[in-house]
Amino acid sequence: MHHDVDAAPRTLARLAADIAVQTGELIATLRDRGVTVAASKSSAVDIVTEADREAERLIVSALRAARPADGVLGEEGTGIAGTSAVTWVVDPIDGTVNYLYGIPAFAVSIAATVRDAHAFADGRRAVAGAVFNPRTGELFEAWEGGGSRLNGSPISASGKTELATALVGTGFGYTAERRAEQAEMASRLLPLARDIRRIGSAALDLCNVAAGRLDAYYEMGLNPWDYAAGVLIAREAGAALLGRDDSTPPGEPFLFAGDAGLVRELRAVVLGG
C-alpha cells in the first residue's frame, strides 16, 4: 500500500512527533515572553503572530534537513513542491486565538501526506501525523494501520452512538457570513445533543475524538493544515469521517468525525436534512 513512500509510515510519524515537540517547546517559550499580533488574514480576528511564523520556519527547516525531496505546505505560506511522494502539511500553531489569550489549548500539527484523489477534499491523505500541545505535554500520534497513541499509550474513540447523550465539538470560521451559517447549524444541534464544545483548535478537537473526550466533532470551512494530522489520529482510533454527502470527501466544505452511525445523524441535523 505504501510502495510509493520511501519510508515506513511509523518512521514518518516519529519524525513528525520529534519536530512537533521541538516546535511546541519553542512556541511555549515565545508565549511566555509575551505575544503580539503580527498581522490579520481573512478578517480582523483571523490573526498571525511572530511565533506562528518562527515556528513554521523551524518546522520547514527540520523537515528539509531530514527529507529534502519532500514537499511542504504550511498555514503561514510555505508551499514547497517536492520530488518524492510525500508532502508535509503543517500548522505551526493551531488554536492561535487561544495562544494569544493564554488559554492552554493550542498545538503544533504535522502530517505526512500522499496523493489520494478521493480521500479528503484537498486530494491528499495522511499516512503519518503528530499533534503536540506544549501546555499539557500531550503528544498524539498515528501512522496508517498502526493505531493512535497519546504519549505512547493506545487511545480509542468513544464509540457513542446516541446523539442525545453525545458531547460534540465544533468550531467557527473567521468571517461574519460564515459564522452566521455556523450559528444556524449549532442552533439546530444544541437542543438535540448532550452539549457542544468550542475548544478553539480543530487539530485538538480531532485528537479529543480519538481519545474519547468528545463523542463527535464537525466543522465547516477547515483548511488542510487544520485537519491533516487530526483526521488520521481520529480514524486510527476508530472514528469514521464524513463529508457533506456520501459523494463529497471530508474536509472543505464539511468534516464530521465520530462513530459511523452517530455522524450520519449529526450530519442530518447540522445540515438541516
Q: Which residues bind Ca ion (CB under 5 A)?
A: 91, 94, 226
**Of the two residues 226 and 259, which places its CB atom closer to Ca ion in the complex?**
226
Q: Classify residue 159 as left (phi > 0), alpha (psi -120 to 50) or beta.
A: left
Report the distance separating Cα 234 and Cα 141, nearest Å: 10
**Of the two residues 171 and 258, which places its CB atom closer to ligand IPD in the complex?**
171
Q: Which three cell numbers stand for residue 246?
A: 456520501
The answer to the question of residue 172 lying near ligand IPD (CB under 6 A) is: yes
Q: Which does 129 bind (CB under 5 to 8 A by kind): Ca ion, ligand IPD, none?
A: none
CA-to-CA dists, residue 18 to 21, 96, 168, 230, angstroms: 5, 21, 30, 17
Q: Which helix (H) or strand (E) holds 179?
A: helix 176-189
The answer to the question of residue 89 lying near ligand IPD (CB under 6 A) is: no
The answer to the question of residue 49 lying near ligand IPD (CB under 6 A) is: no
Q: Is the distance from CB of 59 to CB of 25 less than 8 angstroms? A: no
Residue nearest to Ca ion (CB): 94
CB of 53 to Ca ion, least distance (A): 14
Q: Is the distance from CB of 146 to CB of 245 less than 8 angstroms? A: no
**Of the two residues 59 and 202, which places its CB atom closer to ligand IPD in the complex?**
202
Instruction: Kindly give the pairing relationship between strand 87-94 and strand 71-74.
Output: parallel
The answer to the question of residue 222 lying near ligand IPD (CB under 6 A) is: yes
Residue type at 17 in one-letter notation:
A
Sort 174 into a burial class: Cβ within 10 Å, 0-12 / 13-18 / 19+.
middle
Q: Which does 258 bind (CB under 5 to 8 A by kind): Ca ion, ligand IPD, none?
A: none
Number of residues that bind ligand IPD (CB under 6 A): 15
CB of 107 to ligand IPD, least distance (A): 9
**Of the two residues 109 and 148, which places its CB atom closer to Ca ion in the complex?**
109
Among 24, 71, 95, 230, binds ligand IPD (CB under 6 A): 95
Footprint on residues 179-208 left by ligand IPD (CB under 6 A): 200-202
Among 71, 171, 238, 251, binds ligand IPD (CB under 6 A): 171
Report the distance separating Cα 258 and Cα 168, nearest Å: 9
Which residues are at the interface with ligand IPD (CB under 6 A)?
75, 91, 94-97, 171-173, 200-202, 219, 222, 226
